[in-house]
Amino acid sequence: MKRNKIKLVAFIALASVFTLTGCAKREIKNVGSKGKNIICFGDSITFGYGVNPGEDYPTGLRKLISMPVINAGVDGDTSAQGLARIKKDVLDKDPYIVLVEFTGNDFIKEMPVDTTIANVREIIRQIQAQGAIVAIVDISAGFFLREYRLKLSNLAEETGSIFVSEVLSGILTNPSMKSDFMHPNVAGYKIIAYRVQRAILPYLK
């Protein structure tokens, strides 16, 4: 009986180790960044298409944290176009954390997924070389853009980036949260801001 109890205790202890290991936070590159600004870098979802200025998710994020937030979203941008403007819109603006949100327009324009991922990888490389933290913002939801989600998740693991998964989940399927077939309305962008804030909160100054 005593031997069985010892085995049980040992099993529980071992299970706890695996649980703690599995829940361990991914090692994020450039924690302790010296930059000053949170930069939201992306396409129409970042820009705030479908709502008035000041109702976009970067503005909502600014209300939730105590650091400056810059909206560097451009409506219609692909990952290649983002890469082309990264110096002016991101690297020259003293980034602390950069929230990278691309894929939607690449998908619409039928760019190969691997080309998109290669562009995002290069965006991440340049940002991290500047000494800033990267957070990848994934706009997939369920089966929609699922292939991008899986590849972006792997990319986040590979590069030591924060991964903010499925920010449009529950928004794309809810007409009361959208301004059109794809873009959130004010309520939808507020939800995105909260989801992003929760993901980056452990890394803020």
DSSP string computed for 126-137:
HHHHTT-EEEEE
What distance separates the 2 farthest-apart alpha carbons in the chain? Answer: 70
Residue 91 domain-assigned?
yes
pLDDT averaged per 10 residues in sequence order, the chain, 205 residues: 41 35 65 97 98 98 97 98 98 98 97 98 98 98 96 98 98 96 96 98 94
Residue 9 domain-assigned?
no
- Cα separation, 130 vs 95, in Å, equals 8
Q: What is the pLDDT of residue 25?
A: 54
Q: What is the pLDDT of residue 205?
A: 84
Side chain identity, residue 78: T
Instruction: With CA atoms as reference, report the closest residue to 203 among 92, 67, 47, 86.
Output: 67
Contact 148, 107 (CB under 8 A): yes
pTM of the model: 0.87
Domain that holds residue 121: 29-203
Q: What is the pLDDT of residue 20?
A: 32
> How many domains does the chain fold into?
1
